[in-house]
Homo-oligomer: A and B are copies of this chain.
Amino acid sequence: MIHPGSNFKTSSILNHKDLRKEDFEFISSIDTRWRDMDAIQHVNNATILSYYETVRVEFLGRLGFSLVRRQSNGVILASMQIDYFSQLSHPSKIDVGCRITRIGTKSFDLCSALFSELSEYPISAGKFVLVTFDYINQKTIPISKSIKDSYLPFID
């Protein structure tokens, strides 16, 4: 399913820095907290992953995945590739977009990016490779129809 209004770029040649808010149909906001800053006085890179995570959990919740506890219908993170383009300070309000850009049999790629109100360019962007996972039985499971229906690749 290709969304007509979306920005067409192939996943293979995608430069994360080219991502814009308009590339995402799903966007949710995060407010920074004072403690998100580290000793260097910018928002810590690992904390930014918690921003991605909160919005990813919300996005996946709409696709029928519950991550409130160990359940049979979950996802687990296999790998990720994250780019950091600019530093972030507290206080800031951040928009985080999510988009499924690849589907396999038991895994899929979720492209995600952070935007502030100060610039059209992303502060950070990343690709998360997620495996559909049954936490009760600790084994992988086939990806759901809801994931397939949300598939929205970047196309040349």
Contact = CB atoms under 8 A, between A and B. Distances in A.
A47 interface: yes
B77 A40 contact: no
A67 interface: yes
Contacts of A77: 45, 84
> How often does this chain occur in the complex, in copies?
4
Interface residues of A, number: 40
A83 B35 CA distance: 20
Contacts of A31: 30-31
A79 B79 contact: no
A74 B40 contact: yes
Interface of A: 30-31, 33-35, 37-41, 44-47, 49-51, 53-54, 57-58, 67-70, 74, 76-84, 87, 89-91, 135
